[in-house]
Amino acid sequence: MNNYLFYRYSISLLLLVAVAICLLQIASPLSLSAQWQLVTEMQIQDVDQVLYLYGYLPRIVMAFMVGGALALVGSLLQQLTQNYLLSPMTLGLSSGAWLALVSLSIWAPSLVATHGHWFAMLGATLSTLLVMLIAGRQGLGGLPVVLAGMAINILLASIANALLLTHDQYAKNLFIWGAGDLSQNDWSNVLNLAPAMLIVPILLLLSPRILTLLKIGEGIASGRGLNLLPVMIGLLSLSIYLVAHAVTLVGVLGFVGLIAPNIARYLGARKALDQLCYSFLMGALVLMGADMIALYAGQLMQVLVPTGTTVAILGAPLLIYLSRKKFTANDQQSLSIPLGIKQLSPFIWLSLLLLTGLLLLISLTLSPSLQGWQFTIPDALTWSFRWPRVFTSLFAGAAMALSGMILQRLIANPLASPDILGISAGATFALVSVTLITGISIFEVGALTAFIGSMITLAILILLSKKQRFAPSVVIMIGISLGALIDALVAFSLISGSDDIYPVLGWLSGSTYRVSSEKTWLLIILFCVLFTACLALQRSLTLLSAGDDIAQARGLATNKARLILLSLAALLCASVTAVLGPLAFIGLLAPHMAVMLGARKVVNQLVLCCLIGGALMVLADWLGRVTFYPMQLPAGTVASVLGGSYFVFLLLKGRLSN
């Protein structure tokens, strides 16, 4: 065993040195002998030598330090909770720190260099506390904490995007930073991170005994005098401080803290100290390797490839693998949401119809101007611009709500929706890829491309989760992984795009700004056809919701019916994505709100969730137009903030009620 330990560390260290040498060879035109001579003699004579000493060497050191720190924190979190899917990313640490830094960069940019890490620590602490409050103590060991972290990540990212869209002069640099960039201009960032790295030996000294006792069992740990709450608070505080420093200097590199500890365990690290030390080494190796790939790809394509993009591309498949390995068909552990009232009343129908009509009236007639608020019937020119936006929002929200309702009933998963399962991401990936490859405007690509992307994603999802019989945990984790891949593509587009890519970025926020009347009519017609088809198939959806055995006993061809309904859900999502862009939370939230209002039967829920989804999107579009007048926020961004906030509120309410 000791020999294996020695060989494992020796080979890993040699591999780390080899990766560092390869990275320097890719980055710098200097030969190895010239590099060695420059380091030993420190005689600078040309620009390449300056770049080597003050650009590439600190970049490698930063990759080693940040990768090791994130992996160490990831290993610590996973051992504390015995949850191998936990990391600074899934716990919400990174997104909280990122939002705090975006806010500070916009409103107090002079404080970023001197006090940025303290604000990042505050944001990371608040987001982590919120995730833990939603998941609860028992939820830290399974899926609930990952789902809570996912919801918080989407919400905080939406708020950060809203801030960037209203302060676009900061957008380019902040997008590069947020994508995870290791580029260095001197040794200042390394020197800034060095004091925080003193936490590493402190964690290595204090935590192994605690983690060993926790692994044996909380009861035994308490019997040995270990008070769990203060210990977790202390270790989490040190971890948050370390992650906040890293995010402040290089941006978000979330998957490192997930990948490295699992690689360490796979290669034989079992004891607490061994897992921590070897995870640190694997984290440095993973990040340096990802940075090497990013540099090489950037040279081939003549663009800047963020290191965070390559980390996400490496990490998402591992997350899929871990999800399929960890969770089974019997794993139904999830988050609780309040059920609401039991019976749908005519008063609710009337109230929702009146509310939707009122929102349409306000959106069409009430708007700010240079003279103040005006409530007027729009003239012909204003009407020609305004009605496509309003009615596109209405039918887009209804379509996403209907798609989410079908998915939730078919998969028997209350947290299923087109955005969480990756179906929206598949449509987005197809549209963005065609735009980047062919140069065709994303507004002209069409719904067919989006539908193909959605169906391919849906097929992958079904294929990967079929073995576990579509267990909610597996389906959701695979969807989150696919979404992470799309985020990596989007981040790459943000960094590498020329001027013609910025309309794509506006579209990615779910904007109604460029919607034409022709596309509005197309969306309305598609929705009406698909809505009618769903009504015709309501018996099939009811039987499939009850289970395949009951459905087959009633004579239903379950496979055929499921394929048709899944295709309808994908087509609804693709239609919206092609016209408006990806929308988050509407497909998740509207079906739940319908159930909370008493819509238990399929037909009632089908109609009611469409009304709710449409009303939410009309409200989001109007708020996006008037809140920061004369500036505008995309309806999708506003809907994500509103829907995400309410969804988090529901999760908190469900958690506290239990």
The pLDDT tens digits of the residues spanning 394-408 come to 999 999 999 999 988
Enumerate helices (H) and strands (E) in the chain, giving the number of each.
28, 2
* Mean predicted confidence (pLDDT) in 177-191: 81
One-letter amino acid at 31 equals S
Mean pLDDT of the chain: 81
* Mean predicted confidence (pLDDT) in 163-188: 70
Q: Which of left, alpha, beta for 497 (phi over 0: left; psi -120 to 50: alpha)? A: beta
Distance, CA of 577 to CA of 526 (rounded, Å): 13
Q: Bigger pLDDT: 412 or 285?
A: 285
Cα distances from 89 to residues 153, 393, 443, 554, 575, in angstroms, run 8, 32, 33, 46, 31
pLDDT at 331: 47
Which of helix, strand or coil describes residue 84? coil
Burial 389-410 (b: 16+ CB within 10 A, else e): bbbbbbbbbbbbbbbbbbbbbb
Nearest to residue 72, comparing CAs of 225, 248, 274, 324?
274
pLDDT at 330: 44
Q: 58 pLDDT band (50/70/90 cuts)?
A: very high
Residue 547: Cβ within 10 Å count: 12
Distance, CA of 611 to CA of 591 (rounded, Å): 10
- The per-residue pLDDT for range 532-571, each reduced to its tens digit, is 999 999 888 888 888 777 888 888 887 788 888 888 888 8
Q: 1 pLDDT band (50/70/90 cuts)?
A: low
Given a cut of 60, whether residue 172 has pLDDT beyond it is no
Given a cut of 60, whether residue 329 has pLDDT beyond it is no
Distance, CA of 579 to CA of 516 (rounded, Å): 9
Q: 640 pLDDT band (50/70/90 cuts)?
A: confident
pLDDT at 411: 75
Distance, CA of 344 to CA of 601 (rounded, Å): 10
pLDDT at 6: 86
Distance, CA of 326 to CA of 224 (rounded, Å): 30
Instruction: Please list the alpha-helical segments (H only) found in 217-271.
Output: 218-223, 228-250, 256-266
Distance, CA of 154 to CA of 159 (rounded, Å): 9
| Tokens representing residue 414 in the block | 């209350």
Cα distances from 291 to residues 93, 181, 264, 415, 655, in angstroms, run 22, 9, 20, 35, 40
Four-residue CA torsion sign, 224, 228, 232, 234: negative
Given a cut of 70, whether residue 342 has pLDDT beyond it is yes
Distance, CA of 137 to CA of 145 (rounded, Å): 9
Q: Within 13 Å, how many C-alpha atoms sit on residue 324's CB side?
A: 16
Torsion angle defined by CA atoms of residues 341, 344, 347 and 348, in that order, rounded to the nearest 10 degrees: 70
pLDDT at 59: 92
Cα distances from 594 to residues 221, 588, 605, in angstroms, run 46, 11, 6
**pTM (2 decimals)?**
0.80
Nearest to residue 278, comparing CAs of 68, 77, 81, 87?
68
Q: 461 pLDDT band (50/70/90 cuts)?
A: confident
Burial class (CB in 10 A: 0-12, 13-18, 19+), 270: exposed
Q: Bigger pLDDT: 527 or 309?
A: 527
Domains and CATH numbers, the chain: 2-326 (1.10.3470.10), 346-424+510-657 (1.10.3470.10)
Four-residue CA torsion sign, 614, 608, 556, 417: positive
Contact status, residue 42 vs residue 60, Cβ threshold 8 Å: no
Helices 93-107 and 143-166, axial angle in degrees (round to 10): 20
- The per-residue pLDDT for range 607-628, each reduced to its tens digit, is 999 999 999 999 998 998 888 7
Close Cβ partners of 95 (under 8 Å, ≥ 6 residues apart): 89, 127, 152, 153, 156, 157, 160, 252
* Mean predicted confidence (pLDDT) in 628-654: 80
Given a cut of 90, whether residue 529 has pLDDT beyond it is yes
| Tokens representing residue 328 in the block | 């089974």
Highest averaged pLDDT of the listed ranges 154-163, 281-290, 343-352, 509-518: 281-290
pLDDT at 618: 93
* Percent of the chain predicted with pLDDT > 70: 85
- The per-residue pLDDT for range 361-379, each reduced to its tens digit, is 998 888 887 777 878 887 7
- The per-residue pLDDT for range 239-298, each reduced to its tens digit, is 888 888 888 888 777 788 888 998 898 888 888 899 999 999 999 999 999 999 888 888
- The per-residue pLDDT for range 69-104, each reduced to its tens digit, is 999 999 998 888 888 878 888 788 778 888 888 888
